[in-house]
Amino acid sequence: MGCIVIADKIFETYPSFRRGIVIARRMKNKTADEDLYYVLKETLIRRFENPVDLETDSRITDWKDVHKSFSSNPNKFPPAHIALLKRIQKQRTEIPFINSVVAVMNTVSVEHVLPVGGDDITAPESTYKLTYSKGNETFIPLGTPDKTENPDKGEVIYLIDETKDVMCRRWNWRNGDKTKITENTVNIIMNIDAVGEGSEERAEKARDAVALMLEKYCGAEIIKTMLSPVYSRHDF
């Protein structure tokens, strides 16, 4: 049995934080899907035509404040949804269709203006934990399998606790290479994060959208939950 855990200190520091969780099993993760490609493309067009104000929208500024609070510069290391919005709102940019799961992740992130991240469950009996770094954990950045680095001490990281392999640095900035989602991925954990006013409702809506799309386009078997100050651990 594996488990997903949020460190108590995270919720003590950020009491409005909610993490929607989707565990998807026995998926068929395709590298091409015409219907899903159209959904992603239309979502990007709608957001380009109705852009989010990246300077004043609370869904942006709240996350920037969170990053600043653990000494991460959100301009240099932007949360994933901010980086994505900057990319598509600057010009009508299409995002490459890498595979179905990544397309679902990007679609929901852009539509709901939330950071959405996923990892291949390569070690199903492990503890997947969001916590503060001690500085001795190991991170292999996505796309650079020969590069290894350590997170900063005090940085919020998402890691496999038993091995100290970091899956995502700076909370929701950059994913690791070891748990990247490929066409061979069949089991994943998807994280949908929200902070600020109405965070639980927003995380829940985006989580449910992820679950429906993974069922529809990947044939996934789904488990959903929500991590909060009163429920900070989920065993699966």
Per-domain residue ranges for the chain? Answer: 3-235
What's the rounded mean pLDDT across residues 151-167?
97
pLDDT average, residue stretch 99-126: 95
Rounded to an integer, the average pLDDT of 180-205 is 98
pLDDT at 123 over 80: no
**What pTM was computed for the model?**
0.96
Q: Crossing angle for the helix pair 34-49 and 80-90, nearest 10 degrees?
A: 80
Provide CB contacts within 8 A for 51, sequence distance 6+: 85, 89
CA distance 122 to 2: 11
CATH number of 3-235: 3.50.40.10
pLDDT at res. 93: 75
Separation of alpha carbons 221 and 236, rounded Å: 13
What mean pLDDT is predicted for residues 202-231? Answer: 98
pLDDT at 94: 82
Structure tokens at 37: 């490609």
Nearest C-alpha neighbor of 112 from the set 61, 189, 59: 59
Structure confidence at residue 124 (pLDDT): 77
Over residues 206-231, the mean pLDDT reads 98
Average pLDDT of the residues in 159-167: 97
92, pLDDT greater than 80 = no
Distance CA 138, CA 149 (A): 6
Q: What is the mean pLDDT of residues 187-206?
A: 98
Judge residue 216's burial from the number of C-beta atoms within 10 Å of its C-beta, 0-12 exposed, 13-18 middle, 19 or more buried: middle
CA dist., res. 100 & res. 28, Å (int): 9
Q: Quick one: pLDDT at residue 57?
A: 98
